[in-house]
Structure 1
């Protein structure tokens, strides 16, 4: 970075909105949002094209006087795709920029459950925050923070796959995360993914095969016949006897067809 550029960075006052060249803003490798939904991106582009940028992005100045994006990567990407050269940006304190990034992302567009879990866990590890402190920070109840952090029990493989699946809720992933064994966890996750693409009817108990149906019907018939007390039927006994004889004849016909 040239001396002229370094001198320019000093002019960026904290809390003031500046019009900054897109080329000067660098992505932060610790950005909490890892997955970007294409439909949401297109909608954001259209909104910015129609109404302009309503909220400035946030940036910090690092030890080398580079301008590092703290929050607003979706807005920055949309502006670049629209061919804009500058963007409204505001400088923030660089001491705890990762907290600001997480809060801003949560308040604007919900992070995926996995991105949210990893970002909250990073703050917990880095600053030693309690669950209560984290809850106050991101505006969520302590038990919700506990559920968010529980997703870190998911394997790296599952987290990476789940990151880009919008249809997966925190609750659904939480049930998988509570399974301790890695192999069982993977099976549960695969079953969850499979169920998402299946019509509701197919998720129900599988249909009986022809053989199982025949056995079930025969068992039910046997139970019914055994329960009949012919002596207690009175005047209706002849009708029932006739039906039993009809049934017996049908059974003999079936058995004869097998012998033939």
Structure 2
């Protein structure tokens, strides 16, 4: 049976995970036995922020353990998968720590995927595209409405819908948002153009001329007028 985050029991489970119940036994797990979560929505990690976190850990220690699950099929090199705490894990790797404090819990593949996505949505500053991909993954895994998903993640339905619309844009524009070459508002303006060719042409003009959102909207209006 597929894991659902949207029942009361499962919502409590997700909330408990994010809170990381420290009454559970904390173990010291070797870093070389840990692998990132395959459903991690974040595609870009800010190395400078990882190093800042590492400096904090170096001074104060790791206050909050990461959460892992033991893989059913594992090798000596990758015995555990991260459920919550990849930034802390990366900081520990940067510090060349041998082990990291962790809570090991039992999760199915569906639970691992859903909880990793929820943990990132609640804790991390994902880019708009990463957030949209996370929402889409949760919708596909759980078969729920945008409204139900919005309630679960504490967003309005329109906010979730606006993020999901970004996935209709060409890959080149999505990559520009990921790289922070253009803003989410720039990207949403480009949705007014029907063809991918036109969207990419305007993207080039935004980059070349460093257009702000207002200038972009004006350019798109001119573009649409000429098309009529």
TM-score (norm 1): 0.64
User: Who wins on radius of gyration, i.e. which is larger?
Assistant: 1
Gaps of 5+ in 1: 1-13, 206-260
**Any runs of at least 4 consecutive aligned residues in structure 1 with deviations exceeding 4 A, and if so which?**
none
1:105 CA displacement: 1.6
Say how many residue pairs are matched.
Answer: 188
Q: For residues 179 and 96 of structure 1, what CA distance do their matches in structure 2 show? A: 38
- Quickly say closer, same or farther: Cα 1:153–1:21, change in 2 above 3 A: same
Aligned to 2:119, what secondary structure does the other structure show? Answer: helix
1:15 CA displacement: 5.0
Cα-to-partner distance string for 1:43-93 (whole Å, 9 max, x where unaligned): 212222222223222222233153111232221111111011111222343
Cα-to-partner distance string for 1:130-155 (whole Å, 9 max, x where unaligned): 10121122221111000111111111
Gaps of 5+ in 2: 1-22, 219-228
Contact 1:114 1:163 in 2 (8 A): yes
Q: Does 2:113 match 1:98?
A: yes
Matches within 5 A, 1:122-161: 122-161=137-176
Aligned to 1:96, what secondary structure does the other structure show? Answer: helix
Q: Does 2:186 match 1:172?
A: yes
Pick aligned residue for 2:57 from 33, 45, 48: 48
Q: For residues 194 and 103 of structure 2, what CA distance do their matches in structure 1 show? A: 44
- Quickly say closer, same or farther: Cα 1:23–1:140, change in 2 above 3 A: same
TM-score (norm 2): 0.72
Higher relative contact order at CA 8 Å, sep ≥6: structure 1 or structure 2?
2
Q: Does 2:32 match 1:18?
A: no
Corresponding residue number in structure 1 for 2:99: 86
Contact 1:112 1:164 in 2 (8 A): no
- Cα RMSD after superposing both structures: 2.7
